[in-house]
């Protein structure tokens, strides 16, 4: 696409100032300005003579206007201006995408305003292309007159036709309320001053599917019920609220994320949301924990993805003891202190009957012993993605890598069964630890295994794989409950893992063959 000059800018492609030569010229000597805009040899130009004295503001404004007119005449002759309107519309939609490559709002979200200023052709196409105007990011603070921003918002949204709004402004609520029936996604701050507008938005939000409520500045709100009847609402994020303070159509929710909850809220959330598929819960306070023996039995739910950020393993044990999630496919557990012990995790997986369905596991804490990790992973033969984040201390040694190596696993597992007889009944007939693993991410503060052993493990999991029976000659069972998959992606801590020259040759060869090995600093 050709680049066009901003219609409001001075074209200085040729600038001539006539004056008498002088070693120290005075402002009065610059008494003539000639501006020439060469357009394909057309020789379009203009000359202006400024008076040497008096107020020149009016003259400067006239020069700017003349230059803008010249730019528009030049732009009108360029080929890109004369493209068919349908082609221009598609180009504008691509250029004016509100999201960047990472899915976040672009800083250049005002591009539609630039497009309509280039020339009359682009202006007509830009104003008639409604998809350019259905997203806006408009911030208003206490030092800015909100009414002025509301005028801009009114103009912007008036160009959207009948399109649904994907992410309208979170600030000018009075204007936003008039477009509430087409509102699809909204992030709203809760303050008493905005209560009337929020009420109007909630009453008319018939298309709303995704809602974020931010209550960090809403001490005045004891409860929020504006969106309790939104018929299409399915995705809710609560910031500064827990589910006890917000009345929502919980039965129809599929995605729920909350912060500042107490440890009881995860169970309450699942009871209120029988159709929930993805749940993110971050507990800021422990609260009172009832006696486990006197609490109700496990709650069975069809949840597929669960993310828990808790203070310690005490809260984790209390929650997992009360849950059974047979359809769970992704689990993310982060603890501020303590470690997710195998004695907590393994019984939960077995009771939930999700040992083959769980494909993604993230474990993060300050203490994450590798023997506990191995004991937990032994009951998850279907795991495809594993991420271990150990941020303070501890280490990864040969034990975990050898458990993942099909050549070394048989000897280690026999020793493990003798040491952990309580877990023996949970261990499946598998060729090695996490045989179905495709992606492995490791962020440990200390890795004591040497780089050669690490490379040997990676090469083994890349080359020694099969989809059905074990190849002839292998000293293992003829069949396993799950095949050995090829490990395709590995993320390692760069400061703790340094490959020697010989090992680097193997790493480079694995990369050429298709294995993704990424070194990441922690």
Q: Are residues 473 and 372 part of one domain?
A: yes
Give 194-216 as a 3 state SS string: HHHHHHHHHHHCCCCCEEEEECC
Residue at 48 is within a domain: yes
Q: Are residues 490 and 416 part of one domain?
A: yes
Q: Are residues 501 and 410 part of one domain?
A: yes
Domain end (from 128, 150, 185): 128
Q: Are residues 22 and 117 part of one domain?
A: no
For 485, which DSSP code?
Answer: P
Check residue 268 and give its pLDDT: 82
Half-sphere exposure of 310 (CA within 13 A, CB side): 25
Q: Are residues 409 and 357 part of one domain?
A: yes
Q: Are residues 405 and 395 part of one domain?
A: yes
Give 274-324 as a 3 state SS string: CCCCEEEEEEEECCCCCCHHHCCCCEECCCCEEEEEECCHHHHHHHHCCEE
Degrees (nearest 5) of the Cα angle 78, 80, 82?
Answer: 85
Domain end (from 128, 151, 185): 128
Check residue 359 and give its pLDDT: 94
Residue at 147 is within a domain: no
Q: Are residues 45 and 92 part of one domain?
A: no
The β-bridge partners of 442 are 388
The β-bridge partners of 490 are 440, 517
Q: Which of 71-75, 229-233, 327-331, 338-342 has the lowest mean pLDDT?
A: 338-342
Check residue 57 and give its pLDDT: 78
Domain hosting residue 34, numbered range: 15-81
Residue at 319 is within a domain: no
Q: How far apart are CA 305 and CA 318, in angstroms?
A: 19
Q: At residue 455, does pLDDT exceed 90?
A: no
Q: Are residues 496 and 398 part of one domain?
A: yes
DSSP helix/strand/coil, 135: strand
Check residue 9 and give its pLDDT: 37
Q: Is 338 left (phi over 0), alpha (psi -120 to 50) or beta?
A: left
Residue with tokens 């040491």: 419
Q: At residue 36, does pLDDT exceed 60?
A: no
Q: Are residues 49 and 101 part of one domain?
A: no
CATH label of the domain that carries residue 334: 3.80.10
Q: Which of 12-16, 116-120, 165-169 has the lowest mean pLDDT?
A: 12-16
Residue at 24 is within a domain: yes
Domain end (from 45, 63, 81): 81
* Predicted structure pTM score: 0.65
Q: At residue 101, does pLDDT exceed 70?
A: no
Q: Which of 299, 251, 305 is nearest to 278 (CA)?
A: 305
pLDDT cut 70: percent of the chain above it: 67
Average pLDDT, the chain: 73
Q: How far apart are CA 259 and CA 240, in angstroms?
A: 6
Q: How far apart are CA 111 and CA 240, in angstroms?
A: 34
Q: Are residues 91 and 74 part of one domain?
A: no
Check residue 318 and give its pLDDT: 83
Q: Check: CB of residue 215 under 8 Å from CB of residue 190.
A: yes
**Which tokens sit at 37?**
């805009």
Torsion on CA atoms 405, 408, 409, 414, rounded to nearest 10: -170
Q: Are residues 87 and 50 part of one domain?
A: no
- pLDDT, tens digit (0-9, with 9 covering 90-100), for 255-293: 999 876 676 777 888 888 999 999 998 876 555 555 544
Q: How far apart are CA 475 and CA 168, in angstroms?
A: 63
Q: How many domains does the chain have?
A: 3
Place 105 in a pLDDT band, splitting at 50, 70 and 90: low
Q: Which of 6-10, 133-137, 485-489 has the lowest mean pLDDT?
A: 6-10
Give the number of residues written for the chain: 522
Residue at 119 is within a domain: yes
Q: Are residues 114 and 20 part of one domain?
A: no
Backbone angles phi, psi at 200, to 5 degrees: -65, -40
DSSP helix/strand/coil, 522: coil
Residue at 493 is within a domain: yes
Q: How far is CA 362 from CA 56, 358, 389, 467, in A?
A: 68, 11, 8, 26
Check residue 99 and give its pLDDT: 62
Residue at 51 is within a domain: yes
**Which tokens sit at 343?**
């004695």
Residue at 505 is within a domain: yes
- pLDDT, tens digit (0-9, with 9 covering 90-100), for 288-324: 555 544 445 678 899 999 999 888 888 888 888 888 9
Per-residue pLDDT, averaged over 420-424, amounts to 46
Q: How far apart are CA 66 and CA 51, in angstroms?
A: 18
């Amino acid at each position: 696409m050709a680049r066009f000059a901003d219609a409001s800018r001075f074209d200085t492609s040729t600038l001539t100032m006539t004056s008498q030569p002088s070693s120290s010229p005075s402002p009065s000597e610059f008494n003539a300005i000639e501006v020439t805009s060469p357009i394909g040899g057309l020789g379009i130009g203009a000359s202006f003579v400024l008076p040497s004295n008096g107020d020149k503001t009016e003259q400067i404004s006239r020069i700017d206007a003349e230059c803008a007119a010249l730019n528009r005449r030049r732009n009108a002759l360029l080929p890109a201006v004369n493209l068919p309107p349908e082609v221009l519309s598609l180009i504008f939609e691509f250029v004016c995408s509100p999201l960047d490559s990472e899915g976040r709002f672009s800083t250049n979200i005002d591009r539609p305003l630039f497009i309509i200023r280039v020339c009359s052709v682009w202006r007509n196409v830009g104003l008639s292309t409604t998809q350019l105007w259905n997203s806006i990011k408009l911030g208003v603070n206490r030092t800015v007159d909100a009414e002025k921003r509301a005028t801009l918002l009114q103009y912007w949204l008036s160009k959207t036709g009948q399109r649904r709004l994907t992410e309208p402004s979170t600030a000018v609520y009075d204007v936003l309320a008039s477009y509430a029936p087409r509102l699809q996604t909204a992030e709203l701050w809760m303050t008493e001053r905005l209560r009337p507008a929020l009420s109007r938005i909630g009453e008319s939000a018939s298309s709303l599917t995704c809602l974020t409520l931010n209550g960090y500045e809403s001490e005045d709100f004891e409860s929020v019920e504006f969106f309790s009847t939104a018929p299409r609402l399915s995705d809710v994020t609560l910031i500064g609220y827990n589910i006890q303070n917000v009345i929502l159509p919980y039965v129809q929710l599929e995605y729920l994320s909350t912060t500042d909850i107490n440890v009881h809220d995860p169970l309450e959330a699942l009871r209120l949301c029988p159709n929930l598929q993805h749940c993110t819960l971050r507990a800021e306070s422990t609260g009172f924990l009832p006696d486990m023996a006197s609490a109700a039995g496990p709650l069975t739910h069809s949840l597929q993805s669960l993310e828990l950020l808790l203070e310690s393993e005490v809260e984790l044990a209390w929650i997992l003891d009360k849950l059974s999630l047979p359809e769970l496919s992704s689990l993310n557990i982060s603890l501020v202190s303590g470690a997710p012990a195998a004695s907590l995790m393994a019984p939960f997986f077995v009771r939930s009957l999700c040992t083959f369905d769980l494909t993604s596991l993230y474990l993060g804490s300050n203490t994450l012993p590798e023997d506990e990790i191995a004991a937990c992973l032994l009951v998850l033969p279907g795991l495809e993605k594993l991420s271990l984040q150990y941020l303070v201390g501890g280490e990864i040694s040969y034990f975990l890598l050898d458990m993942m190596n099909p050549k070394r696993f048989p000897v280690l597992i026999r020793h493990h069964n003798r040491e952990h007889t309580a877990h023996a009944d949970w261990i499946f007939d598998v060729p090695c630890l996490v045989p179905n693993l495709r992606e492995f991410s490791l962020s440990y503060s200390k890795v004591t295994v040497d780089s050669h052993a690490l490379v040997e493990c990676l090469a083994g999991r890349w080359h020694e794989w099969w989809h059905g029976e074990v190849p002839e000659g292998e000293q293992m069972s003829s069949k396993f409950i799950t095949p050995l998959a090829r490990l395709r992606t590995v993320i390692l801590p760069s400061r703790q893992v340094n490959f020697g020259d010989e090992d680097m040759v193997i790493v480079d060869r694995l990369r050429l063959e298709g294995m993704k090995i990424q070194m990441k600093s922690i």
